[in-house]
Structure 1
Amino acid sequence: MVTYNKEQIKNLQELDKKHYLHPTSSLKQHQENGPKRIFTEGKGIYLTDVNGDQYIDALASLWNVNIGHGRKELGEAASQQMGKLAYSSSFNNLSHETVIQLSEKLASLTPGDLNVFFFTSGGSESNDTAFKLVRHYWKMKGQPEKKKIIGLERAYHGITMGATSATGIQQFQNMTTSLAPDFLHAAAHKTNCEWGDKNDSDYSRSIRGIIENEGPETIAAVIVEPIQGAGGVIIPPDGYLEAVRDLCDQYGILMIADEVICGFGRTGRMFGVDNWNVVPDIMCMAKGITSGYIPLGAVAITERLRDNLAEVSDDVLFHGFTYSGHPTSCAVALKNIEIIEKENLAAHASKMEMELIKGFKYLTEKHSSVTKSRAKGLLGAFELFEDREQGIPFGPEKMAAQKLVEECLSQKLIVRSVTFGGTNIIALSPPLIITKEEIEKMIMIFSDAIQTVEKSLRLQSV
């Protein structure tokens, strides 16, 4: 382990403040206090900082380090590929071996006939690509008016222009003064409405209600996360995704599944939609495809969609990124998927779901503020309420979730708060290699941290 003296650490902190604009962070806090932690090494479920302190990375950094930190196999795969062919372009129908191999491998994993792949550098690019492809598809089919995209409230799809516009979290939209047109947002998980129950008070806000109001001839696609991640780990009720699939089929609308967080074993199945046996027309992926070891995203489309596009247009597909199908990224993805399969990590995530639920039950029984826990595979969350019996949440001024995240960090546990819409949600998604004993250790840290925060909040109320 590399060690740093106080002068080196201070220098890194000052350079960070001076030169690094952090993503999704408070600029004011950064300029006042510098970086919260500077990490130098990772091994398994742990990260080590410049002080030599070790933390449980219970968020898999950004929902993505599925196989855990420090897997030398991925570095070796990258090195071997770089020594052979580090980069080449896929424009103008040029190709290379690793992108072909990865496409074939993904086709063996994706459901139905989602057997055709376009590669990107990450999730935002994947979702933007999907939006462009569906609009291009309908235009080529002689229906250019089919251009509206329906997403869900509390959904997160990324931060490029189209992805931000599709995102149903207001704070992300407020950051810009101009959103892309033709994006609509439906109330999430209104299963009865999507099956056609017009007696529901939320019917007009449902996907079906919006389709009927806007006219199906104007709707290009519906995009859903199998489980909403950044919105608070919101698991849909049984029958919901099936209802959306049926609704899209009924009205001739394409269904896009955003699997950026859910994909590659996170939910206990290879892809989130596999939990409900739903096959979308388009599937967007990133994060777990390389476990975050190198940037890569992908968009899977059905063979039918590809064939239809080929039939109606002999023009160039004027869409592509410099790093589409990057050879080194593809090589890393292949090795990553090999590890996920060889170590049965999706099945392991399903098994560890039971341990996570058991831990949440313990926290709920021991701490009066803990409620509404849920998990699917190793994607989980619980909420903090001031009075859970009466259903009274903590007010936003008490910053309950944020305080718990900070207390967990002080106790060497990294988790995430979700406070959109006045919620106090604690989200976690540890690496898929986590063990029963490590989950128990994580739960004990949670318990100590919750006890500290509950005491602080009681004193604050006095």
Structure 2
Amino acid sequence: MMNDNAQNLRQSDLTHYMHPFTDTEALGKEGGARIIIRAEGAYIWDISGNKILDGMAGLWCVNIGYGRKELADAAARQMNTLPYYNSFFKTATVPSIELAQQLAARTPAGLNHVFYANSGSEANDTIVRMVRYYWELEGEAQRQIIIGRNHGYHGSTSVTASLSGPHMHGQGGVPLPGFSHIAAPYLFGADTELDAEAFGIQAAQALEERILELGADKVAAFIGEPVQGSGGMIVPPASYWGEIQRICKKYGILLVADEVITGFGRTGKWFASELYDIQPDFMTLAKGLSSGYRFLVISSG
């Protein structure tokens, strides 16, 4: 049963707090949000005293569990020493330098530079600008189109919603121009008699078909999550990413691995790119980078 404090908090939540991906009217009819008040290890507790196994690890981010005292202590030391300073105006801080060095050492070969952002959405938004600026510097400014996939999720800004699949489109003028999408390598949901290996090749070849349809000289990059979160945790066939990489190299297309939910041990490797032998030109990191504690930085790309 709800106590008076819980009822008051739920009403205040409905009155003032706009939740993402939520129908506020429907939430009100259900009696309001579940209010989480504490967490430890892999469990969370709500305001009614229910202990819940957090199978989603927050929002696919609390990779090392809740209540890690060593992280709280590290955060307190940093807050007391230097809680914040910007990196504009030819300035840096010791933690930002040291973390960039650590990330460069652990990410796949060739990824030697880190750009910090405030979220996975912002990091992917920045990558779109970087990709297009790269082609401008290469004298091919007409390469503007970035190809994503159905069921893809890359963020909730106007740009990253455009990168994402059609389930993120149709509101607020999204998708913006300059984005295209192909089918996901979703064998379970496909009407096919192909085995997994053949289906993986076929799904990847949809990229080549789209490149030729749009014009290879107009395509800037392909972006994909090694394992797709939206659509039901879509694990690609083993043959898929090798063929994607072959096609990107054939047409000189940049390859972006969105490792926001798959990075930092989620798949048993530091990064899922290692699992699938992906050699990305850009990699987006977030979530597990700070295990949701967010006391230093959130993402790099």
| TM-score, length-scaled by structure 2 | 0.91
Q: Residue 88 of structure 1 aligns with which residue?
A: 85
Distance 1:5 1:186 in 2: 47
Matched, 1:270 2:266: no
Q: Could you tell me which of 59, 63, 66 is aligned with 1:62?
A: 59
C-alpha deviation, 1:107, in angstroms: 1.1
Matched, 1:47 2:44: yes
Q: Could you tell me which of 125, 134, 138 is aligned with 2:135?
A: 138
Q: Residue 154 of structure 1 aligns with which residue?
A: 151
1:389-408 maps to which residues of 2 (within 5 A)? none
Instruction: Extract structure 1 runs of 4+ deviating beyond 3 A.
Output: 190-195
8 A contact 2:149–2:181 mirrored in 1: yes
8 A contact 1:188–1:206 mirrored in 2: no
8 A contact 1:285–1:297 mirrored in 2: yes
C-alpha deviation, 1:113, in angstroms: 1.4
1:107-186 maps to which residues of 2 (within 5 A)? 107-168=104-165, 170-186=166-182
C-alpha deviation, 1:175, in angstroms: 2.8
| Corresponding residue SS for 1:131 | helix
8 A contact 1:193–1:206 mirrored in 2: no
C-alpha deviation, 1:171, in angstroms: 3.1
Deviations 1:290-339 (CA, angstroms, capped at 9, x unpaired):
0111161110xxxxxxxxxxxxxxxxxxxxxxxxxxxxxxxxxxxxxxxx
| Corresponding residue SS for 1:134 | helix
Matched, 1:296 2:294: no
Distance 1:244 1:230, change over 3 A: same
C-alpha deviation, 1:134, in angstroms: 0.5
The amino acid of 2:215's aligned partner reads: G
User: Could you say which structure has the larger radius of gyration?
Assistant: 1
8 A contact 1:42–1:69 mirrored in 2: yes
C-alpha deviation, 1:192, in angstroms: 5.7
Q: Which stretches in structure 2 are left out of the alignment for 5+ residues?
A: 187-196
Distance 2:32 2:63 in 1: 25
C-alpha deviation, 1:74, in angstroms: 1.5
C-alpha deviation, 1:246, in angstroms: 1.4
C-alpha deviation, 1:37, in angstroms: 1.2
Q: Residue 439 of structure 1 aligns with which residue?
A: none
Q: Which stretches in structure 1 are left out of the alignment for 5+ residues?
A: 300-462
Distance 2:2 2:229 in 1: 38
Q: Residue 8 of structure 2 aligns with which residue?
A: 11
8 A contact 2:151–2:167 mirrored in 1: no
RMSD: 2.0
C-alpha deviation, 1:194, in angstroms: 8.6
Deviations 1:40-70 (CA, angstroms, capped at 9, x unpaired):
0000010011122111101102111111111
The amino acid of 2:120's aligned partner reads: G
Matched, 1:209 2:205: no
